[in-house]
Amino acid sequence: MKYLLGSLVLLNIADGVLTHYLVQNGIAREGNPFLLRIVGQPIFMIIKVVGIILCALILWDVYRRYPKLAFVLTSCFVAVYAVIVSWNSSLFLV
């Protein structure tokens, strides 16, 4: 579970870095309406990092009580972020 949560944190940060770069250079646009206004600003990465650390801590707390549920949820989140990071990375090839 620790490795899964670590992967989730790293994928989320990679998503933030890629999104910031792609939006700043006009290659892509942010799809999340809540983050749309702050992409490109320094607060964007701070919010991404603090948010994912908070999520990882919550998932760890859930894991202590309901390990199977937390494992499935975290696995799903890692899969989703892996697809998002792959998609963002593919935009460099265009």
HSE-up (13 A, CA, CB side) for residue 86:
6
The whole model's pTM is what? 0.87
For residue 79, what is the enclosing H or E element?
A: helix 67-90
What gap in Å lies between CA 86 and CA 92, rounded to an integer?
Answer: 10
Contacts with 28 (C-beta within 8 Å, 6 or more apart), sequence order: 19, 22, 88, 91
By the 10 Å C-beta count (0-12 exposed, 13-18 middle, 19+ buried), 53 is classed as middle
pLDDT at 94 over 80: no
Instruction: Please report the pLDDT score of residue 79 as a whole number.
Output: 97
Quickly state the pLDDT bin for 32 (edges 50, 70, 90).
confident
Is residue 20's pLDDT more than 80?
A: yes
